[in-house]
Homo-oligomer: A and B are copies of this chain.
Amino acid sequence: MASIDETIKEMARAARRAGRIMGRCPSAPKDRALLTLADLILAEAGTLKAANREDIAAARQRGLSAPMIDRLTLTDATLTAMARGVREVAGLADPVGSLGPARVRPNGLQIARMRIPLGVIGIIYESRPNVTVDAAALCLKAGNAVILRGGSEALASNRALAEVVGRALAQSGLPQAAVQVVPVADRAAVTALLQQEEDVDLIIPRGGEELIRFVVAHSRIPVLKHYKGVCHVYVDEGADLAMAEAVCFNAKVQRPGVCNAMETLLVHRAEADRFLPAMGARFAAAGVELRGCPETLQRVPAAVPAREADWPAEYLELILAVRVVGSLDEAIEHIAAHGSSHTEAIVTRDYGRARRFVREVDSSVVLVNASTRFNDGGQLGLGAEIGISTSKLHAFGPMGLEELTTTKFVVYGDGQTREP
């Protein structure tokens, strides 16, 4: 039997070969494979749910928490949503082969950038099996091959899904190795995958901070990731306080468990008296625990004192840190010191301060008068997203199809030579 290292190495080589075929594949066969996949997910719902039941039984035996088991479970509703997602990806414009604006040099050379696939992408993620299909669909549409490594607790589900993806590829005349699922649960498989720098071009980890730190520490391949989202809303002096309340409530409460939810609220001192008591009461009524600076505590009786560890905290639940600041500069400094370069918003009526916030806050998405919850590929109009990057290289912010590609230079000449 082959060792894990050999298995992974052979998968990576097969992915490279498949990636070359995918890279020159026009849109039609790729879209055909995606539509076939959507059909097969529904047609094979029984098989997929049966495989999923194996994972759930094992998870129960291992005593996984109810929310973990919930995220692991495939239902008719999740399969239908999965198939709909794949159809949406099929409907997106194919980025591959598009040419940017061409310039002409004085010697007549015509130069443009052509969008091309990255090649082979490795996705390392935790238990949700829907990532298997979402990620496969996006990578495939962008002309890449992909190696998927889901959580060990979803192995049976992921293998069943991979089998369906493979049939869709084969039925459309595309190489099955374009989408491969790592078939072993051993963590050594992750470490081995992260060493295949010759055959894998990009690693995208999706999951908790611990998983992502492990991947970054061990990878010889470029990694696109975000560790966490410590998102801020700053309510400026003179802001429309009704708007500020709506934006802040939405940013914190609408879906507190996600990376673009607000974790810290910054309020200008001039608005603290008018804004904080009502906002605090509304948060408290919604079950939000408030952890405030001393000036917040004076205005929000329900708040408890914030500690230093609260400012960089990503709660991912109904807890909010609140701080009163004396100026825009102080807000920007607070964000630079404690933020995660993910998402920040200002609520303001002032033109100059809106301009300064947008320019000086060093985050992947900076919003004026809108909720942090809009940092999402779909909401920002990129189509489906494969993740959010707070790394600045290659992609910064939500990553859609285009971020799964790169460009090469194409030069058309008439025999030009270079002198000198």
Chain A residues close to B by CB (< 8 Å): 20, 23-24, 97, 103, 105, 109, 111, 114, 116, 118-119, 201-202, 216-217, 220, 222, 224, 240, 243, 246-247, 249-251, 254, 336, 347, 358-360, 362-371, 373-375, 379-381, 391-394, 396-398, 406-420
How many Å lie between the Cα of A86 and that of B119 in the bound state?
Answer: 37
Let me know if A109 and B362 touch, CB within 8 A.
no
Q: Lowest 6 CB-CB distances: which A-B pairs, in order? A: A370-B413, A250-B417, A243-B415, A373-B418, A394-B394, A367-B411
| Contact A374 to B408, CB < 8 A, known contacts A24-B360, A220-B216, A222-B222 | no
Let me know if B392 and A119 touch, CB within 8 A.
yes
Let me know if A358 and B410 touch, CB within 8 A.
yes
How many Å lie between the Cα of A255 and that of B374 in the bound state?
Answer: 52
Overall SS of chain A's interface: mixed
How many Å lie between the Cα of A360 and that of B222 in the bound state?
Answer: 24
A109, A217, A379, A415: most-surrounded residue (chain B CB, <10 A):
A415
| Contact A418 to B119, CB < 8 A, known contacts A394-B393, A409-B380 | no
Number of copies of this chain in the oligomer? Answer: 2
Q: Point out the residues of chain B lying under 8 angstroms from A391, CB to CB.
A: 222
Let me know if A371 and B254 touch, CB within 8 A.
no
Let me know if B371 and A247 touch, CB within 8 A.
no
How many Å lie between the Cα of A418 and that of B397 in the bound state?
Answer: 18
| Contact A413 to B369, CB < 8 A, known contacts A220-B216, A379-B418, A393-B201 | yes
How many Å lie between the Cα of A415 and that of B369 in the bound state?
Answer: 5
How many Å lie between the Cα of A336 and that of B363 in the bound state?
Answer: 39
Q: Point out the residues of chain B lying under 8 angstroms from A249, CB to CB.
A: 417
Let me know if A365 and B409 touch, CB within 8 A.
yes
Taking the closest CB of chain B, its distance from the CB of A230, in whole angstroms, is: 15
| Contact A409 to B364, CB < 8 A, known contacts A359-B97, A379-B418 | yes
Can you list 6 pairs linking A and B with CB atoms under 8 Å apart?
A23-B362, A97-B359, A119-B392, A201-B393, A365-B409, A396-B408
